Each structure stands twice: as structure tokens, then as C-alpha cells.
Amino acid sequence: MATVNSPKMRRIDKKRKKEREKQLNKRNKLAKKRQKQIYKRKHRKQRAKRRRFVIILAAVFVAVIIVLSNTVLFLLDGIDVVGNEIYADEDITALMEVSPGDNLFRIDTDTEAQRVAANLPYIADIKVLRRFPNKLLVKVEEEKIAYKISTNGATGIVLNRDGKVLERTDYLPAYDYTEVVGVTVTEFEVGKPLDPATDDGKIGIVDDIMRYIDENGILDIRFVDIKDKFDIRLNYNFQIRIYLGEPSELEDKIIMLGGVLERLNGRESGTLDIRSTTTAYFNPVN
């Protein structure tokens, strides 16, 4: 039998002591864990209360802003127009169905832009923008006259490069446009493009010629003579008579024309035959 102070008993006591310490550490860890859980739950509740408070405060703030923006703030006090030369500011703003005091948020800017463009044919592009706190900005891009077609003696219609009729006119300053001769136009609507099939397709051919001329940066084409659509002729700056011939391969012919005119550099007068897309023949006038 082991005595109290025997090595065996000392080992047993030591082991029991370690087990008690282990149990005590375990209880301490559990107690700390429970304290952390209680703290986290309490902290989560506090954060949730703060979030609810912030949400309520934000909702009240937004509601106040909405009420003010519809009653006091952002009320229309003027319209600025930029980019317009043909039309006066008043011509444009008079077509807009807005009034001083209208709320900017309630103005349909796209509808206003469409309304103006539908009534003013020289408008190529228009944007109506809100400029807070109390303005509208109308940005205008206007059409450029590309050519004129005579319809009855001196009277004619002017068109942009896409064939859109810009207006009916009795007079345009010389050198400001290309005049098209040899086309008969009996029906048209200002603000709308001419039908390409007009006069046996001549309008479609003219549209192509004007587009290729524009794309190649060729200036000073004074006349397009299409009396015979299989013998098309141009006039450059009243110096060079140009023979295009048939309307086939028009783009290639206009590209060739641009190259020849660049080399001549406006120094010569004569006739230029580009009826073939392989060779250009220039016959100068002595």
C-alpha cells in the first residue's frame, strides 16, 4: 500500500492537479466565449438601431429634397441657346412648350428637342440639357447647304448632302453651293429628303455624287449637269469641265477626281475626262 508521501501518491496528486487546472481553464474559456457572444449580440443590436436611425434620417432628408425640388428648387428661369446661326434664339425657344417656373425634373428634354427639330429644317442635331439650378441649355448643330435644284426658273430648292430639302428659295449667293441642272422635281416637302427615285433615279445619283464629293473633301464643284444621266458632267470652280459619263463606279471616279485636282492645285483650266476609272485625261486650255 502506497504511503501519502510515496512517489506514487505524488504522481496521482500531480495528475489530479493538472486535471483540475484543465477543467478550470476550460470553464474560463467557456465563460469568456459567453461574454464575447453577449457583447456581440449587444453590439449588433446597437448597430442595428444606429442603421435604422440613419435610414430614417436619410428617408426624411430625401423626402424633404423631393418636396423642395418640386416646389421651390430647380424652377426654370431661362434658356440658353448655342450653336445657332441661321435661326435666332427666339425662333428655337418659341417652339418649346416650357414656361418660367416649370420644374426642371418635369421637363421632357428629349420631347422638346424633337419638337424643335420637327419644325426647323435647318436643324441637323439638337440637344436640350438641364443646367442646374434653374436653366436649360439648347445645343444646336445646323445643316449646311450642299446643292440647289431649280424647280421653276430662278425658283429652286436647297438640300443638304443627304438630299433633305432645307427650304424653297428664289436666291442664294453665288459660290455658296453646287447647282444641279437637268433634274425635274415636281413634289417635295421641306424638312424631308427627296425620293431617290425622282426623275428616273437622277436624285439618287446626285445624292451619291454629293456624298462622295464631301467624303473626299472636294470643294468648289459649281455645277452637276445630269440632263443625260449616262453623260454626267461637273464644273470645278468655273475652270475645269469634268466628264464623269455613266453613273457606274461613281465613288472610284470621284476619288480619282480628288487626286487630279490636288495635283493641278487650281492653276490650270481645261477639260478633264474621268469616264474611265483607270485613266484620267486632262486637256488644258491655252
Spatial distance between the Cα atoms of 165 and 7, rounded to a whole number of angstroms: 119
Question: Strand 281-284 to strand 270-273: parallel, antiparallel, or no bridges (unpaired)?
Answer: antiparallel
Of the candidates 274, 173, 164, the one whose C-alpha atom is nearest the C-alpha of residue 218 is 274
- For residue 181, which phi and psi values (nearest 5 degrees)? -120, 150
Phi-psi region of 25 (alpha: psi -120 to 50; beta: other; left: phi over 0): alpha
Q: pLDDT of 194-226, one tens digit each?
A: 999 989 999 999 999 999 999 999 989 999 999
Spatial distance between the Cα atoms of 273 and 104, rounded to a whole number of angstroms: 60
Where exactly are the structural domains of the chain? 9-73, 79-142, 147-284
Helix axis angle for 198-215 and 250-264, nearest 10°, is 40
Spatial distance between the Cα atoms of 160 and 164, rounded to a whole number of angstroms: 5
Residue type, 239: Q
Spatial distance between the Cα atoms of 86 and 218, rounded to a whole number of angstroms: 24
Q: What is the pLDDT of residue 20?
A: 75
- For residue 25, which phi and psi values (nearest 5 degrees)? -60, -40
User: 141: which DSSP letter?
Assistant: E
Q: What is the pLDDT of residue 284?
A: 92
3-state helix vs strand vs coil in the chain, percent to 5:
40, 25, 35
Fold of 147-284: Rossmann fold (3.40.50)
Fold of 79-142: Ubiquitin-like (UB roll) (3.10.20)
pTM value is: 0.68
260 burial class (0-12, 13-18, 19+ CB within 10 angstroms)? middle
Q: What is the dihedral sign for C-alpha 205, 196, 219, 250?
A: negative
Of the candidates 248, 230, 242, the one whose C-alpha atom is nearest the C-alpha of residue 282 is 242
Residue 257 corresponds to which cell in the numbers above? 477626281
Q: What is the pLDDT of residue 229?
A: 94
Residue 109 corresponds to which cell in the numbers above? 428634354
Question: 161 and 210 in contact (C-beta within 8 Å)?
Answer: yes
Of the candidates 145, 149, 110, the one whose C-alpha atom is nearest the C-alpha of residue 126 is 110
- For residue 278, which phi and psi values (nearest 5 degrees)? -100, -30
Q: What is the pLDDT of residue 169?
A: 84
- For residue 279, which phi and psi values (nearest 5 degrees)? -145, 135
Q: Which residues of the chain have pLDDT under 70?
A: 1-6, 8-9, 12-13, 66-72, 152-154, 172-175, 286
